[in-house]
């Protein structure tokens, strides 16, 4: 059976026709929550790398299902080829089906949530897809993130919303994600937002930053 990472090596869309904003932050920092709000404000397409991986994990016939499941449970990073291909496919599909609706400047607007989480992903996406226009990083204290994730875990059904997985996710964040944030910071693209604050306050700060990029 053909694999999702076979075939097309380059995206099927023109990178100059898209605006990409990365949304980063530890587990439970509030990335998904804030992306939901920004979708309402600016008509973004919200692509969560974690959601795309969970969908691929559950897709019948996926040859990556077990590998993805193990990585998610262990808080490790799925090989970049899989995640980037899923993102490219989702972007292409969105560009075809939306064909500009809600994108006032005619460019596809994407919030890419929870990606890149490792340097190889950051470099490959930049080379083969496009560079981000802006990077929002939501920062919360570990105890705040633990409280939020354990609360979410009561109903989320996520295999990694438990304290054992969470400790591993924090470790991955320190070892792999923080160097990516440093790299993006050196490019002057990072805005850090204190996400110990209320959802409203985080949204206000994120929204102001996005305004500057889109106007
Ligand atoms: N600023 C906030 N104040 C209080 N609760 C929040 C805040 N932001 C998010 N939450 C809650 O915390 C939980 C985790 O938020 P969310 O799913 O947005 O985090 P995330 O960063 O996307 O996490 P993950 O990477 O694990 O998917 C949710 O139940 C959400 O309602
Ligand atoms: O680029 C990525 C993004 C995510 N993962 C894996 O998915 C889980 C869950 O991600 P959330 O953003 O919290 O939904 C993450 O811990 C990784 O195991 C990945 O491998 N690569």
Interface confidence (ipTM) of the complex: 0.99
Nearest CA to ligand 2 atom 11: 50
Task: Report the CATH fold assignment for 16-214.
Answer: Rossmann fold (3.40.50)
CB within 8 Å of 132: residues ≥ 6 apart:
20, 21, 22, 112, 184, 189
Q: 10 falls in which pLDDT band (50, 70, 90)?
A: confident
When mean pLDDT is compared across 13-27, 72-86, 92-106, the lowest value belongs to: 92-106
CA proximity to 89, closest of 110, 72, 65, 107: 110
Residue bearing the CA closest to ligand 2, atom 7: 50
Domain ranges of the chain: 16-214
Strand locations in 123-212 (E): 134-139, 190-194
Question: Is pLDDT above 70 for 9?
Answer: no
Instruction: Give the pLDDT band (50/70/90) at residue 85.
Output: very high
> pTM of the predicted model, to two decimals?
0.96
First to last CA, the chain: 45
Give 49 Cα–ligand 2 centroid separation in angstroms: 6
Ligand 2 pocket test: pick from 27, 30, 58, 78 the residue with the most ligand atoms within 8 Å of its Cβ.
78
Q: Which residues sit in the known binding site?
A: 28-33, 54, 76-78, 114-117, 121, 152, 158, 169, 197
């Amino acid at each position: 059976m053909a694999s999702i990472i076979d075939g097309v090596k380059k995206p099927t869309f023109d990178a100059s026709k898209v605006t990409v904003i990365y949304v980063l932050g530890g587990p439970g920092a509030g990335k998904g929550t804030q992306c939901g709000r920004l979708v309402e404000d600016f008509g973004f397409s919200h692509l969560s790398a974690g959601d795309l991986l969970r969908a691929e994990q559950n897709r019948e016939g996926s040859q990556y299902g077990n590998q993805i499941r193990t990585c998610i449970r262990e808080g490790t990073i799925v090989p970049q080829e899989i995640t980037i291909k899923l993102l490219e496919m989702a972007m292409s599909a969105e560009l075809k089906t939306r064909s500009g609706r809600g994108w006032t400047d005619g460019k596809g607007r994407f919030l890419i949530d929870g990606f890149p989480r490792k340097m190889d992903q950051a470099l490959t996406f930049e080379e083969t897809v496009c560079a981000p226009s802006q990077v929002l990083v939501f920062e919360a204290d570990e105890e705040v993130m633990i409280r939020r994730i354990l609360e979410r875990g009561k109903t989320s059904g996520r295999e990694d919303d438990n304290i054992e997985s969470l400790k591993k996710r924090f470790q991955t964040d320190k070892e792999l994600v923080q160097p990516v944030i440093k790299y993006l910071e050196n490019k002057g693209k990072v805005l850090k937002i204190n996400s110990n604050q209320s959802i409203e306050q985080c949204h206000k700060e994120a929204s102001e930053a996005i305004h500057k990029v889109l106007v």
